Structure 1
Amino acid sequence: MKETIRAAFVIARRDFTAIIFSKSFIIFLAGPLFPLIIAIAASGLGKQVNEDIDRPIIGVALDAADSAAILAAREKLVTNLGENGVPELIRLDGVDPNDPDIADQLDKAARPLTAILSGSLETPRLTGSARDIQRWQGRMALLSETALSRSEPVQVQAQAVASTGSATKRNRLVVAQGGQVILILLTMILAGMVLSNLVEEKTNKIIEILAAAIPMDAIFLGKLFAMLGMAIVGITVWATLGFVGLTLATSGLPNLPVPAVGWPIFCVLMILYFSMAYLLLGSLFLGIGAMAATVREVQTLSMPVTMGQLLVFFLAAFSVTKLGEPVEWAAVLIPFSSPFAMIARAAQMDNLWQHGVALVWQAMFTLIIIRFSVILFRRNVMKSGNSVVKKGLLATLLAFKR
């Protein structure tokens, strides 16, 4: 009895030590933090992006005295209502307050304008889309009343235009966000199949038999592109069914905002950037499969990669309203967030050369990850040398003879 207890203690101590000091256990402990971080980031990100999309900028085309008075009135109202309660005002120098074609200035300003306030403080006129006029007409009346320091109500005249640069920008931002969401959902759903396929072949020793006849780089590339082809077939079926169902349900396709590059090129870029996002994540999963010894380890190690992919998606989603700023350039240059950031650019910018550069950059990084994964696989799985391969080949030959 004493010897049994002692042996049980030795086994318990050995297993406990092996688990506690393993990298899988450390990652497992940190695992619950990832969903919490992502949930907090997602809530804040969604609010910030919506604020950026709907942030109003109203041009002021008044004479010098009236412009100074209404800008001062805005500062007073900001103190009471906050920045979100009062639209941002930009003074338009050199613009005639009584110009009948003042709507042309909406898209000529350095920043896209929501509307233009012209005329005078006593008889102001707000020029913009019907939606923007309805939203900000009351606030502009309040600003005029504050600037005039009187309690009598000011009637703001409305001059609606069919479309403005601000409205076009909002519509394209919606397309950009939609493209990013579709890319991340498809990538997360389909990329995991690469990992399960590799783990299955490792368990059955099939991968070692293949490695005896084919270079490992070719095996990994073949697996990636085979799974990518299968994913594209699945997407094609889903898209066809969705297209048919939507057409039958709504008696025609909805009138969607047109991206900057146009719908045909945008759809092609969606396929290309999905392919690159899939290959980048799939090559990472191959590296994980090379490092892991068991299915449980694979599941544990893949979780941080999945959470990390969501984090780079959040980076790209956050930068969708910040074209040309450092955070947006970071999202473009980081390979794992680059497909999501570039599809947002396709919705908002019409130059195509940048997409060719981005696709080449993403493809180069995919090859680097695959090469590194092959090195890990050879070190961790093929470390037993030729004996393992020979045993596998011998077992295969015996099976065929039987």
Structure 2
Amino acid sequence: MSSHNRTGRLSTLTAAFVVARRDFTAILFSRSFIFFLLGPLFPFVVGALAGGVGEQVKDSIQRPMLGVAMAPADAEAMVAAQQALAERIGPSIPGLVVVRKLQPGESFDPVGAMKSNEANLAAVVTGTPQAPVLTGPIERIEDWQGRVALIAAQAAGNGPKALPAVALSSIATSKADQTRSRLLTAQVGQTVLFLLTMLLAGMVLSNLVEEKGNKIIEVLAAAIPMDAVFLGKLFAMLAVSWVGITVWATVGGAAWFTAGHSLSDYADPAVGWPAFLLLGVVYFSLGYLLLGSVFLAIGSLATTVREVQTLSMPVTMLQLLNFFFAGFAMAKAGTWIETAAMVIPFSSPFMMLAKAAQHEGLVVHGLTIAWQVLCVAVFVRLGAAMFRKRVMKSGPAVQRKRKWFGRAAA
């Protein structure tokens, strides 16, 4: 006979499933769920205001550069000419970076250079200062044609009165334009993830406070492990949230596509749209569980709605800081700031979703997802232990005290 049958108590996972099914059914078929579905109408205003936050991030992104691939002497002359003109004209002259100093007869692929990760190249100038060839996106090279002619004339020693003709060779895109477009995709993903998490995670607070008031939580705690109660409530609220998101996405997506928009309006994420959307689902779920576990711990300590509001406000403000920190870390790729944003549990979902939009590779996502799952388990355990100790007045310390007094009485 198994220990499960002898004790009469469900296992933690089975009990968590029972609690999750009970809460999910009760909420889904309640009249208040209709008003819950109307909730996102108000945060749209917040989303519009948050759009300005991205402008500061754009200013921190590496400035698009003009690559030079010429003979050694010509490349050095072009760089010297650009520096001389920049001192007199200012930032309207694009920054130059020598991509390669070509030897006689050496071939060079400017398109391949722009698609590489070596520099944030917007265009590449080849040929000679007397006959330069500018390769890049058509709108970029048309804008830079006159300035490149001025630099080439300075490099050739002709001065501004004898500008050479700059031949244009257009391509579809460049790394600089791709970087800028993927940044927009990353920012939109981060903002949507933050708004959904903050909008929906608060449900676990009201649910737990309500059940504490009518003593249901005490009945559950007496029948099944407290860890199972917390875990079941978290996943029930997550399931309810996904029902709401599905409804909102269906209605909003239909309106968006009907208006003539499509995913092609945004640059393809580095990992591709299918993987990006799947990672969005995973990171929302983990971000919700992380924040929800903290809210559960807060709700377990609060006895009134006023206490809930007082205790949850610092957590909300800290989560807002985590969101801004993850946005700032996007502009600090390869630094300790980016690493910190990936490791800190509450900023990690925002940072990793942005990383999926900007950088290829899925291995790092597997590692961070495993780390976030571990953090969820730890926070749930801590919240349940805190509830047992401070609310239920049970736990190892209390049990030892009762046992000691029992011996003394005997």
TM-score by length of 1: 0.77
Match of 1:115, SS state, is: strand
% identical equivalent positions: 50
Say yes or no: does 1:129 pair with 2:137. Answer: yes
Deviations 1:319-376 (A, max 9, x none): 2244332211111111111111111222233322222211110010111111111222
Question: In 2, are the aligned partners of 1:176 and 1:347 still within 8 Å (CA)?
Answer: yes
- Which among 90, 97, 103 is matched to residue 90 of structure 1? 97
| 1:212-223 map, 5 Å | 212-223=222-233
Match of 2:70, SS state, is: coil
Deviations 1:261-301 (A, max 9, x none): 22122111110110000001101111222333432121122
Q: Distance between the aligned counterparts of 1:210 and 1:339, measured in 2?
A: 32
Deviations 1:112-169 (A, max 9, x none): 4211122222332221111321343343334334443723162433211122233333
Larger displacement relative to structure 2 (124-133 or 103-112): 103-112
Q: Distance between the aligned counterparts of 1:177 and 1:261, measured in 2?
A: 16
Question: In 1, are the aligned partners of 2:213 and 2:303 still within 8 Å (CA)?
Answer: no
- Which among 150, 158, 162 is matched to residue 159 of structure 2? 150
Give the unaligned 5+ runs of structure 1. 1-41, 386-402
Question: In 2, are the aligned partners of 1:59 and 1:113 still within 8 Å (CA)?
Answer: yes
Match of 1:298, SS state, is: helix
| Aligned residue pairs, count | 343
Q: Distance between the aligned counterparts of 1:204 and 1:313, measured in 2?
A: 36
Q: Distance between the aligned counterparts of 2:231 and 2:199, measured in 1?
A: 20
| 1:247-396 map, 5 Å | 247-250=257-260, 254-383=264-393
Larger displacement relative to structure 2 (199-208 or 334-343): 199-208
Question: In 2, are the aligned partners of 1:78 and 1:86 still within 8 Å (CA)?
Answer: yes
Question: In 1, are the aligned partners of 2:145 and 2:166 still within 8 Å (CA)?
Answer: yes
Q: Distance between the aligned counterparts of 2:376 and 2:141, measured in 1?
A: 49
Give the unaligned 5+ runs of structure 2. 1-49, 396-410
| Superposed displacement of residue 227, structure 1 | 0.2
Query: 1:4 maps to which residue?
Result: none
Larger displacement relative to structure 2 (271-280 or 327-336): 327-336
Say yes or no: does 1:210 pair with 2:220. Answer: yes
| Superposed displacement of residue 87, structure 1 | 2.8
| Superposed displacement of residue 97, structure 1 | 9.4
Larger displacement relative to structure 2 (189-198 or 207-216): 207-216
Q: Distance between the aligned counterparts of 2:332 and 2:394, measured in 1?
A: 52
Aligned residue type for 2:59: E
Aligned-CA RMSD value = 2.7
Q: Distance between the aligned counterparts of 1:202 and 1:85, measured in 2?
A: 64
TM-score by length of 2: 0.76
| Superposed displacement of residue 88, structure 1 | 2.6
Say yes or no: does 1:182 pair with 2:187. Answer: no
